[in-house]
Structure 1
Amino acid sequence: MVKSKKTNKPQPVNKRKLKRQEEEKELQDIETKSADPQSHSNSKLFSELPISRKTIEGLKRANYVELTDIQRKAVPLALAKRDVLGAAKTGSGKTLAFLIPVLEVLYRAKWNHEDGLGALVISPTRELAVQIFEVLKKIGKQHMLSAGLIIGGKDLAVEQDRVAKMNILVATPGRLLQHMDQTAGFDCDNLQILVLDEADRILDMGFQKELNAIVENLPKQRQTLLFSATQTKSIKDLARLSLKDPEYVAVHEKADHSTPQKLTQHYLVCELPKKLDILYSFIRSHLQSKAVVFISSCNQTRFVFETFCKLHPGIPLLHLHGKQKQTKRVEIFRKYCSMRHAVLFATDIAARGLDFPAVDWVIQLDCPEDADTYIHRVGRTARFDASGQALLFLTPSENEAMQAELAKKKVPIEEVKIRASKQQSIQNQLQSFCFQDPEIKHLGQKAFIAYMRSVYLQRNKDIFKVHALPAEEFAQSIGLPGAPKIKFVKASAAKDAQRAQAKEKSEALNAEVEEDEASGSEEESEVEESEVKQKSAKPMSKIEKMFQRKNQNILSDHYNKLIDFEEENLLDSTEANEDDEFITLRRRDHKLESDDEADLMLPMSRRQLKLTKKELAKKQSKGERIVFDDEGKPHALYEMQDEESFLKDGDAATQRQKYLEEEADLMKEADIEDKAVAKEKRREKRLAKKLREREQSANEEHGAVLAGSSDEFDEEMEEFDGGSEEEDTGKKREAKWFEDDSSDEEASAKRAKLIEVEQPETIADQEALALKLLGAA
């Protein structure tokens, strides 16, 4: 209390004024102490750093007390408002190393709601952005600052209403650039500090366009912090960000290994078709563990997840990939964090920065694109002081080159062998799933193409050789009846051959140049080089020039048949946008629905678009009919025997003779049966005819006289009964005494001739009848 001079009464002290004075004094002390970062480089506790009480209290409530190595070296430099490049092993606490300076810089600048955006944190993935924002909320509760999270997959209109009022933003590059272009009132002119988490990933080709556009909208007078487990030192990248004399902090650069010490790392070499069998056997034998399985593409992740769920391995299964909706991705991320035993199938969106608690195993089913990606993947386990294990699957074509890459990055890794007795095959089950469920079959086809495409698009061709992969066997291992046609495999082999030839030529030329320089004959070397150039530039023939023309419509049908449309189709597809599907299955008659992706058609060349339906049908490949046996295994309709199994029954001549004899016996038996059937049919036909004639003669009102004796009728019946015997013997029947040499038709006509007369009553009538009969004869 303070006494007044007039009244001598104590006056109330202005508490707000005292509080402001204390804050001013605290700020002055912090400014003075932070100006010398070297004096705090050996601090062990957060309370020893020149930071505000509000930040220290927030750290205590979040149970952050001791500094890690990267925090001890990077935080004092960042508090001194210097640009920092921080590199440290995964799980070493890089998030706090840049969030503490963000809060302190704005606190010392007395930042409030009216000042607008003061700090910007950019993350390559949505999950990592969510994780950073959660940590920021924990340690920044005491500060009077507003913070927001803007990532794709949420309502843009809701974000637009609030983003202009935020002091700190955690964002992904794509959604941040969208707000810069479309949100009115979003201003970055007063930005004080820019942070890039996983900076090497943001600076690479994947986010080059977005980051360049973002940096153009930011003021150059700012502080920039870059953090990653594998930091970039590219002058070109640093110039893009307008860094001023950045301090490079790498706490583990001189360490023996670039991965955590408590991380046990192994790799195994297996054929591509055996990968899923080994993975399933591993999961079945580790039901009390928590594992993350990294797969190269979204379609593969979906297929493995769906099929393994049908196999019921006995442990909860989850999957996380970029084609899921944002709400579902966040739900799966949080669900997996809360589970004690589970297996998460994920793409590389989960490879960087995400802090999954208590992960026991990191399994890399597909080879990472480089050693840096491997380091980020295995960083999901053995975080801080915990222990963990990692297992890498390598195919024989990837083994040697990948081990060399890991050795350069100081990654200690040992080979392990798989026991054949512990391995369980799931190929038959996968074939059954694909046969019974068209959706699973379609997922398998897309997974096959996605894997082959991912291998083809990798830059390091010493590791990734798509033409060396057993495509047919791999397709069968995932349950497909046959491998979908992929046109870039042939092109990859051709490119590798051209690359090898060019390398040999360049080495030969370099050797010749070195020899010429050693001998001192400069003139001769120039002549030889010119000769080499002349030899390499061979004159082109008329046919070669014709095939290189762009307007191929002038060619005749004969030359059109010689053109390889597959290679042209490949060139058109490779020039397409990389974000689109490289190749998909052609489905003209119907559509297959999927979760979040539109149905795509196969890319077609410009020439093929001009062809008629009839011409396209001729060029398309014909389908192959396949049958399934009792075990569900696919077989071609007609299969050829191998030479060994064919020769078991004898040589070709013997088998041919045996086949002919067996067929001849069968034909004889068939002939006997056919003759018996024909004989029976003839007998029945003749008998029916005679019966009809008898019935006709018996029903006549008047009697009929047959031209011939009753003996002839008996003879005809004998001929009917014995005709077959004469046919069997093959002998011709001799004519009897009353038969002439006329044809059978004339004889039958005569026998069938009838004379109709009245019944004779007197001798005269009988004589007249006799004369009439003699005249007819």
Structure 2
Amino acid sequence: MKKSHLTETRFSNLELSDSIIKGLKDAGFINCTPIQEKSLPLSLRGKDIAGQAQTGTGKTATFLLAAFQHLINDDSEKIKNPRALIVAPTRELAIQIHKDAVQLSSYLNLRFALIYGGTDYKKQLDKIKSNVDIIIGTPGRIIDFYKQNAFTLNNIQVMVLDEADRMFDLGFIKDIRYLLRRMPPPEKRLNMLFSATMSYKVTELAYEHMNNPVVVKIETEEVTSKSIKQIAYCPANEQKIPLLLGLLKQHQPQRSIVFVNTKRSAEQLNNYLQANGYKTALLSGDVPQDMRQRLLNDFQESKLTLMIATDVAARGLHIPDVSHVFNYDLPQDVEDYVHRIGRTARFGASGEAISFICEEYAYSMPDIEAYIGEKIPVQSISEELLAKDIKQPTSRPPRKPSQDKRTGKPRRKPSRPPASAPESPQ
């Protein structure tokens, strides 16, 4: 982290236990970010917080540290079943919060359950039944297990809602209210809510289910970080791939994400980049969860340095050292632009966001510029910048039929039953 993006306040000067401070030092956290400096002194004294801050400003550590300290302070009577619930809108964000929680609590005797949909149902159910202290997860799977009486919300002492605005976007707000109404009343727990935007809906939720929260806003006048250099090009559709290849060659990004709007566009681009020598990861909504996590881990560990992603990856992921974000397709939602480019310049680092104003999505740019309150400089496309001798993706050869191990002959596909055949019983 650059020193200029940290405050003079040290974690060691806050009311945090020695065990927490030790975990922070191991993680390299010495000085607070602005959201931590403003929020932690309040939450550590039991005040509810409704925080608005840009992505990558340290809000995850803010609510984790406050939750840990609150549970430590009230550990005199050992309570069965979870004492804290942290709810996130996406499984990627839940996974990242859990990862940070494990790291920062390395000297604490706290047990976590990570709960999200799409995979590991039995494993997660067994974990949540094992008397954990903190549940971290997405609303649907949490409610599923709650209705099975796998755990109770009667003993919740800390409640956290992360990216509350995204909860509304994804239609989770009824689920959130369902959970909140089954906890002890707001005045009997510590409540923290964080959101990129403090809309009327988010504010209403805060005051309805929290105990007179203190609103903490950080850099609300800046929609996008000043650490991100934003530029744009206006390619014809047939220039997009040559331009991207040329820019990748010119910039040699340390780690980059290329955002597209559709799965089809992602697959086409992935094929071109691989044909031209780039090792890529493709992240879209229908990638199985296990595969998605494997790709993200490879990307975070620099086994892969170029990711092609739809907006499933635009929010809730902490991937350090992303030097460049490319908007190969301009997003159709202005907020998605901010969340996409926020994948770079995290925790005070600098980064570049390069957008293509192509024929298909050019109409989005005026709305984006109006939303962020600034014009994005457009650079001309020189012939030198466009890649030459681009290799075309090779079409996949037809799959060979699998062989029967016993006979060595190709297996025959089972013949389909006639249309009139009765369905087998379920």
Superposition TM-score tier, normalisation by shorter sequence = 0.7 to 0.9
Say whether 1:423 aligns with 2:390: no
How big is the shift at 1:230?
3.0
Q: 2:295 aligns with which of 329, 332, 356?
A: 332
Quick one: structure 1 residues 300 and 216, their matched pair in 2 at CA, closer, same or farther if it must change by over 3 Å?
farther
1:253 is matched with which residue?
Answer: 220
Say whether 1:244 aligns with 2:207: no
CA offsets 1:456-488 (integer angstroms, 9 cap, x no match): xxxxxxxxxxxxxxxxxxxxxxxxxxxxxxxxx
Q: How do 1:294-309 and structure 2 match up within 5 A?
A: 294-309=259-274
Q: Unaligned regions of 5+ residues in structure 1, if any?
A: 1-41, 440-589, 591-777
Say whether 1:162 aligns with 2:91: no
Say whether 1:226 aligns with 2:189: no
2:86 is matched with which residue?
Answer: 121
Quick one: structure 1 residues 65 and 369, their matched pair in 2 at CA, closer, same or farther if it must change by over 3 Å?
same
Distance 1:283 1:438 in 2: 32
Q: How do 1:445-456 and structure 2 match up within 5 A?
A: none
In the alignment, residue 144 of structure 2 is paired with which amino acid?
Q
Quick one: structure 1 residues 428 and 266, their matched pair in 2 at CA, closer, same or farther if it must change by over 3 Å?
same
Say whether 1:361 aligns with 2:328: no
TM-score of the superposed pair, with normalisation by structure 2: 0.82
1:46 is matched with which residue?
Answer: 11
Quick one: structure 1 residues 258 and 438, their matched pair in 2 at CA, closer, same or farther if it must change by over 3 Å?
farther
Distance 1:380 1:172 in 2: 21
How big is the shift at 1:364?
1.2
In the alignment, residue 368 of structure 1 is paired with which amino acid?
P
Distance 1:306 1:173 in 2: 36
Asked if the contact 1:263–1:381 (Cα under 8 Å) also holds between the matched residues in 2, the reply is yes
Asked if the contact 1:148–1:169 (Cα under 8 Å) also holds between the matched residues in 2, the reply is yes
Say whether 1:177 aligns with 2:143: yes
How big is the shift at 1:100?
0.6
How big is the shift at 1:287?
4.3
1:77 is matched with which residue?
Answer: 42
Quick one: structure 1 residues 338 and 411, their matched pair in 2 at CA, closer, same or farther if it must change by over 3 Å?
farther
2:31 is matched with which residue?
Answer: 66
2:343 is matched with which residue?
Answer: 380
In the alignment, residue 224 of structure 1 is paired with which amino acid?
N
Say whether 1:290 aligns with 2:255: yes
Quick one: structure 1 residues 317 and 185, their matched pair in 2 at CA, closer, same or farther if it must change by over 3 Å?
closer
In the alignment, residue 42 of structure 2 is paired with which amino acid?
L
Distance 2:19 2:109 in 1: 10
Quick one: structure 1 residues 68 and 373, their matched pair in 2 at CA, closer, same or farther if it must change by over 3 Å?
same
Quick one: structure 1 residues 288 and 157, their matched pair in 2 at CA, closer, same or farther if it must change by over 3 Å?
closer
Say whether 1:139 aligns with 2:104: yes
In the alignment, residue 90 of structure 2 is paired with which amino acid?
T
Asked if the contact 2:334–2:367 (Cα under 8 Å) also holds between the matched residues in 1, the reply is no
Bigger relative contact order (CA 8 A; separation at least 6): 2
Asked if the contact 1:113–1:146 (Cα under 8 Å) also holds between the matched residues in 2, the reply is no
Q: 1:203 aligns with which of 158, 165, 168?
A: 168
How big is the shift at 1:424?
4.0
| SS in structure 1 of the partner of residue 79 of structure 2 | helix
How big is the shift at 1:207?
2.4
Quick one: structure 1 residues 398 and 347, their matched pair in 2 at CA, closer, same or farther if it must change by over 3 Å?
closer
How big is the shift at 1:69?
0.5
Quick one: structure 1 residues 113 and 423, their matched pair in 2 at CA, closer, same or farther if it must change by over 3 Å?
farther
How big is the shift at 1:51?
1.8
Quick one: structure 1 residues 421 and 437, their matched pair in 2 at CA, closer, same or farther if it must change by over 3 Å?
farther
Quick one: structure 1 residues 240 and 342, their matched pair in 2 at CA, closer, same or farther if it must change by over 3 Å?
same
How big is the shift at 1:369?
3.5
1:28 is matched with which residue?
Answer: none
Distance 1:269 1:393 in 2: 6
CA RMSD of aligned residues (A): 2.9
How big is the shift at 1:199?
1.7
CA offsets 1:189-246 (integer angstroms, 9 cap, x no match): 1112221222211122432343343334333333321223334343675169513322
Q: How do 1:10-25 and structure 2 match up within 5 A?
A: none
Q: Unaligned regions of 5+ residues in structure 2, if any?
A: 1-6, 400-412, 414-426
Distance 2:44 2:101 in 1: 17
Asked if the contact 1:189–1:218 (Cα under 8 Å) also holds between the matched residues in 2, the reply is yes
1:275 is matched with which residue?
Answer: 240
Asked if the contact 2:86–2:162 (Cα under 8 Å) also holds between the matched residues in 1, the reply is yes
| SS in structure 1 of the partner of residue 156 of structure 2 | coil
CA offsets 1:564-584 (integer angstroms, 9 cap, x no match): xxxxxxxxxxxxxxxxxxxxx
Asked if the contact 1:112–1:145 (Cα under 8 Å) also holds between the matched residues in 2, the reply is no
Distance 2:11 2:375 in 1: 33
Quick one: structure 1 residues 298 and 394, their matched pair in 2 at CA, closer, same or farther if it must change by over 3 Å?
same
| SS in structure 2 of the partner of residue 384 of structure 1 | helix
Distance 1:241 1:422 in 2: 55
Q: 1:217 aligns with which of 182, 185, 205?
A: 182
| SS in structure 1 of the partner of residue 176 of structure 2 | helix
Say whether 1:151 aligns with 2:116: yes
How big is the shift at 1:437?
6.0
Asked if the contact 1:266–1:390 (Cα under 8 Å) also holds between the matched residues in 2, the reply is yes
Quick one: structure 1 residues 319 and 250, their matched pair in 2 at CA, closer, same or farther if it must change by over 3 Å?
same
Distance 1:244 1:223 in 2: 8
Asked if the contact 2:260–2:266 (Cα under 8 Å) also holds between the matched residues in 1, the reply is yes
TM-score of the superposed pair, with normalisation by structure 1: 0.47
Distance 2:314 2:381 in 1: 26
| SS in structure 1 of the partner of residue 118 of structure 2 | coil
How big is the shift at 1:411?
4.6
Between Structure 1 and Structure 2, the one with more helix by share is: 1
Asked if the contact 2:50–2:214 (Cα under 8 Å) also holds between the matched residues in 1, the reply is yes
Quick one: structure 1 residues 315 and 236, their matched pair in 2 at CA, closer, same or farther if it must change by over 3 Å?
same
Asked if the contact 1:203–1:237 (Cα under 8 Å) also holds between the matched residues in 2, the reply is no
Which structure has the larger Rg over C-alpha atoms?
1
Asked if the contact 1:287–1:341 (Cα under 8 Å) also holds between the matched residues in 2, the reply is no
Aligned pairs, number: 391
